[in-house]
Amino acid sequence: MGKFANAEKVGLRDKETQKLIAVYPLKATGTDEEISETVRDWFYKQSCAAEDRLLTAYVDVLTEAELKEHK
C-alpha cells in the first residue's frame, strides 16, 4: 500500500518550509508514482512560474487541519 492510498486530498508542499503550495482539486487515484506525476503535471499547467516552484516542491497528503481548511 502506498503513501497516497487512502488520502482524501493531496497537494504540493515546499521542501524547505513544509508549507502547502497548492491543493490538487480532484480525487487522486493510481500508484504513488502516478499520483505524484499527475499532481505535478496539473500544477505545471496552472502557470508559467509553476515550473520554478516545482523544483522545490513535493507531493504530500494534506494534514487534518489543511483538510478542514480546503473542503
Output the CA torsion sign for 64, 60, 34, 42. positive
The confidence score (pLDDT) of residue 49 equals: 82
Q: Rounded CA gap, 44 and 46, in Å?
A: 5
The confidence score (pLDDT) of residue 5 equals: 82
Q: Which residue has the cell 478542514?
A: 68
| Model pLDDT for residues 9-47, shown as the tens digit of each residue | 999 999 999 999 999 999 989 999 999 999 999 999 998
pLDDT over 90 (residue 67): no
Output the CA torsion sign for 66, 31, 29, 12. positive
Flag whether the pTM goes above 0.85. yes
Confidence at 2, pLDDT banded by 50, 70, 90: confident
- 8 A C-beta contact, residue 3 and residue 32: yes
Mean pLDDT of 39-63: 92
Q: Rounded CA gap, 28 and 66, in Å?
A: 16
